[in-house]
């Protein structure tokens, strides 16, 4: 997988989480469980070549695909100081 610097979009999040969901035969939903979130964070770190330092507020926003996309765009896209 090649490293990219563009901020992740909702579609990027869906793509990253679909790998996990395919392995565990889980249907596509907007909600993310804790294992999906762990998978997503690992995939995002690899894909974007970053080490994510999330606080409790970040994690609490990441219970949906849309929320995860927002947080990752903020962190990876550099729209928030770390």
**Cα(19)–Cα(36) distance, rounded to whole angstroms?**
10
Specify the DSSP class assigned to residue 7. Answer: P
d(CA 3, CA 63) in angstroms, rounded, equals 25
Length of the chain, in residues = 82
User: Which pTM was predicted?
Assistant: 0.76
At 10-59, the pLDDT tens digits run 999 998 898 888 777 777 788 999 999 999 999 999 999 999 999 999 99
Query: CA torsion angle for 5, 70, 35, 44 (degrees, to 10)?
Result: 0
- How far apart CA 6 and CA 80 sit, in angstroms, is 15
Query: Quick one: average pLDDT of 54-65?
Result: 95
């Amino acid at each position: 997988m090649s490293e990219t610097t563009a901020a992740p979009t909702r579609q990027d999040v869906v793509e990253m989480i679909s790998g996990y969901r395919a392995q565990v035969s889980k249907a596509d939903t907007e909600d993310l469980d804790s294992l999906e979130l762990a998978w997503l964070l690992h995939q995002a770190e690899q894909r974007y070549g970053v080490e994510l330092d999330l606080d409790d507020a970040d994690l609490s926003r990441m219970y949906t695909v849309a929320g995860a996309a927002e947080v990752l765009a903020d962190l990876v896209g550099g729209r928030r100081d770390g």
